[in-house]
């Protein structure tokens, strides 16, 4: 259990960690994140402290019971919204479920969650298949191309059509353009620090970011206003229409600003994460012909056990988000350590999911480990946990369960390089360094 530190806390040790200057740790965290995490874990064990510029102190936790303590901890004491806000608020806005804490956070969660109900998602399946097929038709035959941008096109189209409910119109093109511009700017890892310290305001990528964000905002607010007046909201299956119809416990609807903030949140929490997980799934499968053959054979038989195991294993060995952050507001004890107020407690997804005591040969891609076997509690949490667990987890899994079979039924692929891609950081995500390059070698269905 997480406990307030109490008077005896001075006898507890603050977790040890690397002694390099903060700026060097920041460079390693941005540029060599997996090397740095692996090294810290080998040297300091299950709990270690990373010190970054601007007084940022992160305590990484990799043991399941410590992760459980943080996820189950008092949400007034360990706050996710506050921690997320430092980086994300300029993008997602002050009313986003990601940056709120306490009752306001729960209110937004309850308003959003029904929009991702299972029945509603099942109705989206045909559209996701169609979007995937249209993308496959654009793939070149016989020469290498990167799968990740292609997966990004699919998940972006899914968001524009099924989340925003905008279909083939001028507004759809406008939204896509603004989103792509903003996403490209957001890839600059140094923006992470610009959001921490607004004195970096005049710094050019930051100014470009603000311009791009305002343009997307304007297009979204115009769409929200027009949509409110539509008589067919009840019949439409998209998330925006569901948000406009949602009412909280007091019967209040969401304001335009709240809806805008949540749409941007769903877009940025859901678009690149899902696309990158899909790219990793293909990169791992194409470099493991036995797993690939087994999955293709299973698809022909209409079963999905191996597909589910493949998705679970991909999210384990290549988690797109490596850590989740919780801002510690009052000194607490976690395990045998004193964690002072002002630090960030970080359940570390990447390291916890590579523990040799939970997963034999932990760095290897082996879907079989999840056949008939549920992941260990708090040893598999690619979607975070507790009352902050990813709101789009079932939506992302649903998309992966549709897109992977659709691709494997349509084409045969081979990897463009002999070894799986290296993990590289892009803003807050871990992505394949080469975009998961592959070659279409044949069509199983007519192109
Ligand atoms: C494979 C794809 C995805 C991964 C790996 C992922 C991962 C995560 C993680 C690690 C968190 C933080 C949880 C925590 O702090 O404990 C999160 C939060 C969130 N995600 Fe996802 N996500 C994915 C897809 C999506 C999708 C498709 C959507 C929606 C369209 C979405 C919406 C959200 C939202 C709204 C939150 C904030 C929840 C809250 O603070 O209460 N995510 N996600």
pLDDT of residue 169: 77
The CA angle 113-116-121, to the nearest 5 degrees, is 165
Ligand 1 center to 13 CA (angstroms)? 33
Residue 431: C-alpha distances to residues 92, 300, 304, 327, 363 (Å) = 22, 30, 26, 26, 16
Q: What is the mean pLDDT of each run of 10 residues along the chain (447 residues)?
A: 58 84 96 97 96 94 96 91 88 95 96 92 95 97 97 96 88 90 76 56 72 93 94 93 96 96 94 97 98 94 94 98 95 89 96 98 98 96 97 97 97 97 93 98 82
Q: Residues with Cβ within 6 A of ligand 1?
A: 80, 97-98, 109, 265-266, 269-270, 273-274, 277, 320-321, 324, 382-385, 388-392, 395-396
- Two tokens, residue 344: 């960030």
Cα–Cα dist 267/163, whole Å: 8
Q: What are the residues whose beta carbons fall under 8 Å from the beta carbon of 201, sequence distance 6 or more?
A: 194, 207
Cα–Cα dist 37/398, whole Å: 30
pLDDT of residue 194: 57
Q: Residue 368: is it exposed, middle or buried by C-beta count within 10 angstroms (0-12/13-18/19+)?
A: middle
Cα–Cα dist 424/32, whole Å: 8
Residue with tokens 């079963």: 303
Cα distance from N-terminal residue to C-terminal residue, the chain = 56
Ligand 1 center to 321 CA (angstroms)? 9
Q: Which atom of ligand 1 is nearest to the CA of 159?
A: 30
pLDDT of residue 200: 53
Sign of CA dihedral 330, 15, 67, 11: negative
145-146/337-339 β-pairing: unpaired
Q: What are the residues whose beta carbons fall under 8 Å from the beta carbon of 306, sequence distance 6 or more?
A: 294, 295, 298, 367, 371
Ligand 1 center to 96 CA (angstroms)? 12
The string of DSSP letters for 255-295 reads PHHHHHHHHHHHHHHHHHHHHHHHHHHHHHHHT-HHHHHHH
Q: What is the pTM of this model?
A: 0.94
pLDDT of residue 203: 59
| Residue whose CA lies nearest to ligand 1 atom number 14 | 384
Of the candidates 270, 217, 268, 266, the one whose C-alpha atom is nearest the C-alpha of residue 108 is 266
Q: Which atom of ligand 1 is nearest to the CA of 319?
A: 5
Mutate to test the pocket of ligand 1, among 68, 269, 397 (most ligand atoms within 8 A of CB): 269
Cα–Cα dist 383/312, whole Å: 11
Q: Which atom of ligand 1 is nearest to the CA of 397?
A: 1
Mutate to test the pocket of ligand 1, among 148, 392, 426 (most ligand atoms within 8 A of CB): 392
Ligand 1 center to 270 CA (angstroms)? 7
Cα–Cα dist 237/436, whole Å: 33
pLDDT of residue 119: 87
Residue 351: C-alpha distances to residues 80, 382, 425 (Å) = 20, 11, 15
């Amino acid at each position: 259990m997480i406990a307030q530190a109490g008077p005896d806390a001075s006898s507890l040790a603050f977790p040890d960690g690397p002694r390099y200057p903060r700026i060097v740790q920041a460079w390693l965290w941005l540029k060599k994140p997996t090397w740095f995490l692996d090294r810290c874990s080998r040297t300091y064990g299950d709990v270690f402290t990373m010190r970054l510029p601007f007084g940022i102190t992160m305590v990484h936790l990799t043991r399941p019971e410590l992760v459980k303590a943080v996820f189950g901890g008092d949400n007034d004491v360990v706050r996710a919204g506050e921690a997320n806000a430092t980086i994300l608020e300029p993008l997602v806005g002050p009313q986003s479920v990601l940056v709120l804490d306490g009752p306001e956070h729960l209110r937004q969660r309850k308003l959003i969650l029904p929009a991702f109900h299972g029945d509603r998602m099942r109705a989206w399946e045909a559209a996701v298949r169609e979007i995937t097929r249209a993308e496959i038709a654009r793939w070149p035959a016989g020469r290498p191309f990167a799968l990740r941008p292609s997966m990004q096109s699919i998940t972006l189209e899914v968001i524009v059509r099924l989340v925003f409910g905008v279909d083939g119109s001028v507004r759809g093109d406008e939204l896509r353009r603004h989103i792509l511009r903003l996403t490209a700017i957001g890839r600059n890892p140094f923006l992470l620090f610009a959001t921490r310290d607004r004195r970096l305001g005049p710094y050019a990528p930051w100014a470009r970011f603000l311009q791009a964000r305002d343009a997307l905002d304007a297009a979204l607010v115009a769409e929200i206003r027009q949509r409110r007046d539509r008589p067919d909201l009840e019949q439409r299956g998209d998330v925006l229409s569901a948000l406009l119809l949602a009412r909280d416990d007091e019967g209040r609807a969401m304001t335009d600003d709240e809806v805008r903030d949540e749409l941007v949140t769903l877009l940025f929490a859901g678009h690149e994460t899902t696309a990158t997980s899909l790219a990793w799934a293909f990169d791992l499968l194409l470099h493991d012909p036995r797993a690939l053959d087994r999955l293709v054979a299973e698809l022909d038989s209409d079963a999905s056990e191996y597909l589910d195991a493949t998705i679970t294993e991909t999210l384990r060995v290549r988690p797109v988000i490596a850590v989740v952050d919780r801002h510690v507001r009052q000194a607490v004890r976690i395990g045998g350590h004193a964690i002072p107020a002002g630090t960030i407690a970080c359940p570390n997804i990447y390291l916890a999911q590579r523990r040799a005591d939970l997963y034999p040969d932990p760095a290897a891609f082996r879907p079989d480990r999840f056949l008939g076997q549920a992941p260990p509690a708090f040893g598999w949490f690619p979607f975070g946990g507790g009352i902050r667990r990813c709101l789009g987890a079932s939506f992302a899994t649903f998309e992966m369960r549709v897109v992977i079979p659709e691709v494997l039924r349509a084409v045969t692929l081979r990897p463009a390089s002999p070894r799986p891609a290296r993990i590289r950081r892009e803003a807050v995500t871990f992505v394949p360094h080469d975009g998961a390059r592959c070659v279409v070698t044949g069509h199983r269905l007519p192109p």
